[in-house]
């Protein structure tokens, strides 16, 4: 059998390990789950033991070449549905559709498969047909379509695997069971469980008890399926093997009984009495009440740890709108950890990276998890003992002192002098404008060819331009190292906060290729907004600093307007339009990664992503030709060059005429198009100049920190020409707005 285990984003690796433990073969993780092969017993064992998967599907049939809804119907009709459905049974169909050009509506695919099933059953059972029941069907089928490939699954597990049965369905809880399990799997504490000696665990913000209960189930080796009260879907299948299933139940029960001899110390506390009582009830229903010590405590006031050393795993309160009280709480959490829990390992789940910065400790590593629709960071810390902390600080001071005491080479000295001179000139201007992210150096000296940007006075993004092939590799590496050392001394920013990348011409997939996978984001400020930036994973950080004046212009000119952002990247321009009072914003980009980033930017600033602000994953030209909406203000900032398997090659000089004309089709009569690009030799085509009113405002959109490079970008205001009625016997000029 072929199975597919559904899981939340960034958890497929965990589910793959669970599948292997269940006896699966050919395990293949994907972005939305894990595909594997195995026997019925492997499927039963997976359902009983998986702590992270949300559902298990079993493949019934598949076809690699389906190209129309009618073909889907005909091929589905050939399957022996009578082995699964009879007129007495009810069924439902769900669907997942990806990149399918022959389907405009995903529900239509489910409808065609439903028709095939019903027609087949009618033919086999004298025109009797089964009924559809979307609420409580006897069996559920799932149609998965990607391009021309179709797989039809049967829901093997039934109701979500994360529903263990120890929590009330009416309980409003932010952390579901499978997310708590994934969180625990990522911690250092779980390593102690794998070794058979669970360490001391504390959850000081236990809420309704999901983390401590899941931890107790892990430590006591209690399979989640042993708690399940409702039958699995496979128990109703004709192929169900009760003897195999009951044998597994006995085997897992025996394993849990053996683990009861382990010394398990789990502590759970919360400031809320109601939360603690609810957590106790959950632990009782999960049969782990004797494994968890509950208490009503304020973590920020705890002066004594429950053990000499252990692990904290917790999910403190957070919100996308950061309040003063929440910020203060995280500051106090950091203080309490360093005062009371020295020598402990700590894992904190948080949906706002800015809050984590208040802990005043650097995490050893982070993981990204989705809690519902919120992208969360699971930050892992080690709290140094006083002796370890002093020794670490001393070593860091010594390393820095030794580094700074070394004389700079003559080349590094020149770079230092230039950067320091630039900084002394630029910083006062930026401070006067309230700008906290700006450029301080841009290949001012040919032998040190790089762009250097400061963010919030805390981080440096240094992008080295690729050296010519005539420069030896050793020479290029030496010069880069000299530039980094010069930057540290000139800015006073520690070496560990200077991020170095090499910028080369990007083509095809390289344009979107990740450089790393730290998933570490920081918040920066601009125009009373916050942007998420990432210094390690991508070539660009998430915000183009040279467009700062354009974004301000958009904010100042968007009130009451419908705004369209094409090639939106992380939608910082759309944010400014929303901040400026736009009626609505529409952001279009071909990259799902950048659109997810854009969503997070909006959420961080408290703007809705459900209405008024819309996001479309699409090729820009396809979007412009497939839609009919009109806009008052359009911002179009295309790449200089782009190619992809998903769309035609784009060259801004060659293709800007058709792009601008397509934009103007969507512009209201008195609307404004802001057209920008970074091609240094760009020249506006005469056809555009003749057809529309074009104003070159490039110079006005170059910030003071970019004045050393006035060709950093080109920017134009483009309007429809306004025709003026010419009175008889008078000649007047046509004027443009």
Instruction: Report the CATH superfamily, name and number, of domain 407-504.
Output: RNA methyltransferase domain (HRMD) like (3.30.750.80)
DSSP alpha helices (H): ranges in 151-259? 177-185, 188-194, 210-219, 242-259
Q: What is the separation of C-alpha 701 from the centre of its chain, rounded to a whole number of angstroms?
A: 31
Where on the phi/psi map is residue 147: left (φ > 0), alpha (ψ -120 to 50), or beta? left
Kindly indicate whether the domain formed by 177-220+262-389 is annotated with CATH number 3.40.50.150: yes
Tokens of 640: 């200089």
pTM: 0.60
pLDDT at 609: 85
DSSP alpha helices (H): ranges in 222-377? 242-259, 273-285, 324-340, 353-356
pLDDT at 324: 56
Kindly indicate whether the domain formed by 2-155 is annotated with CATH number 3.30.360.10: no
C-alpha gyration radius of the chain: 30
pLDDT at 352: 80
pLDDT at 631: 97
pLDDT at 594: 94
Strands (E), 83-213: 90-98, 131-132, 139-146, 149-155, 201-203
pLDDT at 733: 45
Beta-strand relationship, 437-442 and 450-455? antiparallel
Mention every residue, 6+ apart, whose C-beta is less than 8 A from residue 279.
206, 207, 208, 209, 212, 213, 268, 270, 294
Beta-strand relationship, 584-589 and 613-617? parallel
pLDDT at 506: 46
Residues of the chain with CATH 3.30.2130.30: 2-155
pLDDT in tens, 211-259: 999 999 999 999 999 999 889 999 999 899 999 999 999 999 999 998 8
pLDDT at 326: 82
Residue 577, H or E segment:
helix 572-579
pLDDT at 373: 75
| Residue 45 three-state SS | helix
Residues of the chain with CATH 3.30.750.80: 407-504
In CATH terms, 533-720 corresponds, of 3.90.1720.10, 1.10.760.10, 3.40.50.150, 3.40.630.10, to: 3.40.50.150
CB-based burial, 596-612: b 16+ in 10 Å, e otherwise? ebbbbbbbbbebebeee
Residues of the chain with CATH 3.40.50.150: 177-220+262-389, 533-720
pLDDT in tens, 174-211: 789 999 999 999 999 999 999 999 999 999 999 999 99
CB 486 within 8 A of CB 407: no
**Distance between CA atoms of residues 156 and 141, nearest Å:** 9
Q: How many CB atoms lie within 10 A of CB 248?
A: 19
Whole-angstrom CA distances from 711 to 461, 495, 633, 656 are: 21, 31, 24, 18
Residue 584, H or E segment:
strand 584-589
Whole-angstrom CA distances from 438 to 447, 484, 493, 709 are: 22, 17, 15, 14
Site of tokens 């074009």 = 694
pLDDT at 470: 84
Q: How many CA atoms lie within 13 A of 666 on its CB side?
A: 25
Torsion angle of alpha carbons 664, 666, 669, 670, nearest 10°? -80
pLDDT at 518: 56
**Distance between CA atoms of residues 290 and 147, nearest Å:** 52
Residues of the chain with pLDDT under 70: 169-173, 319-324, 503-519, 644-647, 723-737
């Amino acid at each position: 059998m072929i199975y597919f285990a559904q899981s939340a984003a960034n958890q497929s690796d965990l589910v793959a390990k669970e599948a292997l433990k269940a006896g699966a073969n050919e395990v293949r993780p994907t972005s939305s789950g894990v595909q594997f092969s195995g026997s019925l017993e492997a499927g039963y064992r997976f359902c009983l033991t998986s702590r992270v998967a949300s559902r298990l599907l079993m493949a019934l049939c598949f076809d690699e070449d389906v190209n129309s809804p009618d073909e889907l119907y005909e091929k589905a009709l050939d399957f022996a549905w009578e082995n699964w459905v009879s007129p007495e049974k009810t069924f439902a169909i769900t669907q997942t559709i990806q990149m399918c050009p022959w389907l405009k509506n995903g529900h239509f695919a489910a409808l065609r498969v439903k028709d095939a099933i019903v027609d087949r059953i009618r033919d086999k059972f004298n025109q009797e047909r089964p009924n559809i029941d979307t609420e409580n069907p006897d069996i559920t089928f799932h149609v998965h379509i990607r391009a021309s490939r179709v797989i039809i699954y049967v829901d093997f597990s039934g109701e979500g695997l994360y529903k263990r049965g120890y929590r009330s369905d009416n309980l409003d809880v932010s952390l579901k069971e499978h997310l708590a399990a994934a969180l625990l799997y990522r911690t250092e504490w779980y390593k102690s469980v794998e070794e058979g000696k669970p360490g001391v665990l504390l959850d000081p913000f236990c809420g309704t008890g999901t983390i401590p209960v899941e931890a107790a189930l892990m430590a006591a080796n209690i399979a989640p399926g042993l708690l399940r009260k409702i039958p699995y879907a496979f128990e109703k299948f004709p192929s169900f093997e009760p003897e195999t299933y009951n044998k597994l139940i006995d085997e897992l029960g025996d394993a849990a009984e053996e683990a009861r001899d382990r010394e398990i110390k789990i502590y759970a506390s919360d400031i809320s009495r109601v939360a603690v009582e609810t957590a106790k009830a959950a632990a009782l229903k999960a049969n782990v009440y004797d494994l968890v010590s509950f208490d009503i405590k304020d973590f920020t006031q705890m002066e004594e740890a429950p053990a000499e050393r252990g692990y904290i795993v917790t999910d403190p309160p957070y919100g996308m709108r950061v309040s003063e009280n929440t910020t203060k709480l995280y500051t106090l959490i950091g203080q309490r950890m360093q005062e009371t829990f020295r020598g402990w390992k700590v894992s904190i789940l948080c949906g706002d990276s800015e809050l984590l910065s208040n802990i005043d400790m650097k995490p050893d590593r982070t993981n990204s998890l989705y809690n519902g629709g919120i992208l969360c960071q699971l930050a892992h810390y080690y709290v140094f003992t006083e002796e370890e902390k002093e020794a670490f600080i001393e070593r860091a001071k010594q390393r820095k002192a030794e580094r700074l005491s070394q004389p700079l080479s003559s080349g590094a000295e020149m770079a230092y002098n230039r950067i320091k001179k630039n900084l002394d000139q630029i910083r006062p201007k930026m401070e006067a404008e309230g700008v906290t992210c700006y450029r301080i150096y841009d290949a001012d000296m040919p032998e040190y060819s790089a762009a250097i940007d400061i963010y919030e006075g805390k981080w440096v993004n240094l992008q080295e331009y690729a050296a010519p092939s005539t420069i030896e590799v050793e020479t290029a590496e030496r010069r880069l190292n000299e530039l980094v050392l010069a930057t540290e001394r000139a800015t006073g920013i520690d070496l560990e906060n200077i991020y170095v990348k090499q910028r080369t011409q990007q083509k095809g997939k390289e344009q979107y290729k990740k450089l790393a996978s730290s998933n570490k984001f920081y918040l920066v400020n601009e125009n009373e907004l916050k942007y998420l930036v990432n210094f390690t994973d991508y070539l660009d950080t998430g915000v183009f600093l040279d467009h700062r004046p354009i974004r301000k212009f958009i904010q100042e000119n968007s009130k009451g307007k419908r705004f369209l952002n094409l090639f939106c990247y992380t939608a910082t321009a759309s944010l400014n339009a929303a901040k400026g009072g736009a009626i609505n914003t529409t952001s279009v980009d071909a990259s799902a990664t950048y659109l997810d980033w854009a969503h997070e930017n909006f959420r961080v600033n408290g703007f809705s992503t459900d209405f008024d602000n819309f996001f479309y994953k699409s090729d820009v030209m396809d979007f412009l030709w497939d839609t009919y909406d009109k806009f008052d203000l359009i911002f179009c900032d295309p790449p200089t060059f782009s190619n992809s398997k998903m769309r035609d090659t784009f060259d801004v000089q060659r293709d800007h005429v058709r792009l601008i004309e397509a934009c103007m089709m969507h512009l209201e009569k008195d609307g404004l198009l802001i057209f920008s690009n970074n091609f240094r030799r760009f020249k506006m085509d005469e056809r555009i100049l003749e057809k529309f009113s074009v104003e070159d405002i490039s110079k006005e959109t170059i910030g003071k920190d970019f004045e050393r490079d006035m060709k950093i970008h080109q920017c134009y205001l483009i309007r429809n020409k306004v025709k003026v009625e010419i009175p008889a016997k008078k000649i007047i000029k046509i004027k443009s707005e």
